[in-house]
Amino acid sequence: MTRFLTALVALSLLLSAPSHAAKTHPRRPTRIAADTIGPGSPFDCDTARGSSWFGSTARCLEELCRGRNVTNASVVGDDGRLRSNPCARGFDDRR
């Protein structure tokens, strides 16, 4: 019984003591220059940023379409709408 009371008193002292942690403030969001960010999706390859980042639109599409769907003519874009597939350009499956 004395062990229980000792443990209870020690626990209550630990919990009731004020914390000495300093208050933290959230970091200010950093501003990244737009020219340091490359295109994020194949839909951005037609923009000036995509063609300047990779040197040409074809090279941009080649890099960003690697491993993606290149057979469907339409895909769902980042905004949830059905769009023409930029990775399917020049693909002809008529045999």
- What pLDDT, in 10s, does the model give residues 25-78? 666 666 766 666 778 888 888 888 888 888 888 898 888 888 887 888 888 877
Domain containing 65: what range? 37-90
- Which secondary structure element, helix H or strand E, spans residue 63, and what is its range? helix 57-64
13 inside domain:
no
Count structural domains, the chain.
1
Per-residue pLDDT, 95? 41
Closest C-alpha to 73, from 94, 91, 58: 91
**Assigned domain for 29 exists:** no
Q: Is residue 53 part of a domain?
A: yes
51 falls within a domain: yes
Q: Model's pTM, two decimal places?
A: 0.53
8 within a domain of the structure (yes/no):
no
Evaluate whether 76 touches 82 at the Cβ level (below 8 Å): yes
